Structure 1
Amino acid sequence: MTVSVLGSGAFGTALAISLAGNGPVTLWARSADHARRMQEARENTARLPGVALPSNVTVTEDIAGAAASDVILLAVPMQNLRSALTEHSDMLAGKTLVACCKGIELTTGLGPISVTQQTVPQAQPALLTGPSFADDIARGLPTALTLACGDETVGRSLQTQLTTSNLRLYRTTDTIGAELGGALKNVMAIACGAAIGAGLGDSARAALMTRGFAEMQRYALMRGAQADTLMGLSGLGDLVLTCSSELSRNYRFGLCLGLNRPFDQNTTVEGVATARAVADLATAEGLDIPISMIVADLSHGKINVKDAIDTLLNRPLKEE
């Protein structure tokens, strides 16, 4: 089996480093200059400084060469996934495409597997998701993830092929649950970051995580997910990690909202688009997900943190 990773950001680079323990890996960078710098320096100094690329990782801007692999990991932001797949659909047809992004497409409300199916219908889609930070994976620290694939036979094969010395994969056929767990936890991470930034304390964070997880379950079940999937790595596991670490971009974005500080506009925050997409669909379906609704408004500047807190605290009392 040959493996390529499309996307040379921090996570794509980290996956390439870990997978290199199993054999040669091709890492594709959109920018020729970036590919050349990485290939010469043997390091992603821009996104993952201080971690050397193994000798069997080849960085290239040649998409045709990268797309020739049997299995292709798609390490691109969720909101860019459709355009990336559409641009290279002819080369990717017939391949096994493993999306490594978390989120919901703002314009359609679809997750990464559904977007892959729409844009490259001849490909076999799968999803790699769960609690992980690029730096941990790249430095060889133990990490457990969920490998979601609707075809159980393909899923078993991918689980074996993509498990590495530090990356342990658990398998599921519930692609909807795996997609939504990874997407919705980003929304809750923004809420928790905002709470900590505003000085509300760890008790408030615990409440937001718990009630937020209940929202994640309600929304996912409405969309056809299996309840057990949300209790696993792709749901609860990812929620715990993302809501409690400043390594999370979504959490840091929330912190900046709570502190009323600017946030780096060049940093991808998947939870912003996801919150809006989820809020719109929940409104149409009459689903009660107040934290997600608040995050959608807060992230888009429609309310401030104080008003968001007041809105949640003044909701009608109810049973847990």
Structure 2
Amino acid sequence: MKTAVIGSGSWGTALAQVLADNNQPVELIGVNESEIQDINLNHKNSKYFPHTDLNPDLKATDNWDVLKDADVILLAVPTQAIESVAAKAAQYATRPVIFVNVAKGFNPKTDERMSEVIRRVVPAEKLSSVVSLIGPSHAEEVVERQLTSIDAVSQSEQDAQIVQELFSNPYLRIYTGTDEIGSELGAAVKNVMAIASGIINGLGYKDNTRAALITRGLQEMIRFGTHFGGKPETFIGLTGVGDLIVTCSSENSRNFQAGKQIGQENDVNHFLATNTKTTEGIRTAKVVHDLAKAQQIDMPICEEVYQILYEGKEPKNCANDLMLRDLKKEF
């Protein structure tokens, strides 16, 4: 099977290299000519992985015609670009293909999950199914071939298994799942928790605080996800607690980094004025806040993050307010 990976950023490059390592036909489509040339001539993507040599068989292009004979199209672009990129990719597809998404979050205009967006914009005759390839992973480690496990989640078990077989190898283990709602919502909400984790780190709190945040954050993920139809067991798996742990604990997480800067400055304004990186948790915090409020779902950590990001509340005050909430049973 031939796979086309759209997006020559960190995650697209890392996953395209996985396929090259697996001796699978793969084309990496980029828009930045310097990145394309760097990959093809130097076997590097220096912008994202300056110290890592890529598989020399990996080739990049800006020619979307390579999509015409693809069996799998993987979208490695930010959430705000999924709609337009999926629609454009569908124009080149000549038969039903598997669309694989790795973005985590919501459509910025409609608040749809990514799989919903893809199914809406890709004509039925061009779409076999949507598979979400998500779980506890940083591109910086996958490209170094660090041992990693993630999920291929789809309404189609058959297509999830196809993706599983394509990407699995001695350093990347893929599990399959069918709980699309729970997996996608868990993967989105954990970005808000990662901002919160970065904030407490920036404020100077340590391991005890982070452990409490991750544990209580998991309860919020379960509460939110199951309300919208996710299965409880999904949230104790790779796309739930697994993804939550890695993004709340790693400097590689952009959401964690964002929160850390906000916590260190005890203010959000400078970060919002200077940030140039895609930080999915910022937009997600508003979506989660709005949905939780409308559905009366108790999300105290997400609510505090929302107040910091959108209402200018001081992070120190948020931490204090969480600790001074009414005492209650844990479950």
- Using the size of structure 1 for normalisation, the TM-score is 0.95
1:214-253 pair list within 5 angstroms: 214-253=219-258
What amino acid is the match of 1:2?
K
Distance 1:312 1:45 in 2: 42
Give the unaligned 5+ runs of structure 1: none
User: Which residue is equivalent to 2:22?
Assistant: 22
Could you tell me which of 292, 308, 313 is aligned with 2:318? 308
What amino acid is the match of 2:8?
S
Distance 1:130 1:161 in 2: 17
Residues 178 and 121 (structure 1 numbering): CA distance in 2 closer, same or farther, change over 3 Å? farther
What amino acid is the match of 1:87?
K
Distance 1:292 1:111 in 2: 18
Deviations 1:249-276, CA, capped at 9 Å, x for gaps: 1111110010018556221111111111
1:174 positional shift? 0.7
Distance 2:310 2:38 in 1: 36
Deviates more, 1:195-204 or 1:170-179: 195-204
Distance 1:142 1:278 in 2: 32
1:202 positional shift? 1.8
Alignment pair present for 1:138 and 2:140: no
Deviations 1:113-152, CA, capped at 9 Å, x for gaps: 1111111142121100000111211111110001101011
Could you tell me which of 267, 275, 299 is aligned with 2:285? 275
User: Which residue is equivalent to 1:159?
Assistant: 164
Distance 2:2 2:90 in 1: 19
1:301 positional shift? 5.1
1:67 positional shift? 5.1
What amino acid is the match of 1:259?
Q
What amino acid is the match of 2:152?
L
User: Which residue is equivalent to 2:9?
Assistant: 9
Deviates more, 1:101-110 or 1:192-201: 101-110
Deviates more, 1:196-205 or 1:300-309: 300-309
Could you tell me which of 153, 158, 162 is aligned with 1:148? 153
1:106-121 pair list within 5 angstroms: 106-121=108-123
1:38 positional shift? 2.7
1:159-238 pair list within 5 angstroms: 159-238=164-243
Alignment pair present for 1:318 and 2:307: no
User: Which residue is equivalent to 2:56?
Assistant: 55
Deviations 1:228-267, CA, capped at 9 Å, x for gaps: 1111001100111111111111111110010018556221
What amino acid is the match of 1:219?
F
Distance 1:297 1:29 in 2: 37
CA contact (8 A) 2:83 2:117 kept: yes
Distance 1:250 1:231 in 2: 21
Deviations 1:73-112, CA, capped at 9 Å, x for gaps: 1111112211222333312462111001111223222221
1:40-51 pair list within 5 angstroms: 40-51=41-52
Matched residue count = 320
- Using the size of structure 2 for normalisation, the TM-score is 0.92
Identity of aligned residues (%): 36
What amino acid is the match of 2:263?
G
Deviates more, 1:195-204 or 1:263-272: 263-272
Distance 1:121 1:168 in 2: 31
What amino acid is the match of 2:71?
D
CA contact (8 A) 1:6 1:76 kept: yes
Aligned-residue CA RMSD (Å): 1.6
Deviations 1:157-209, CA, capped at 9 Å, x for gaps: 22112212311000001111111121111111110110111012221111111
CA contact (8 A) 2:18 2:167 kept: no
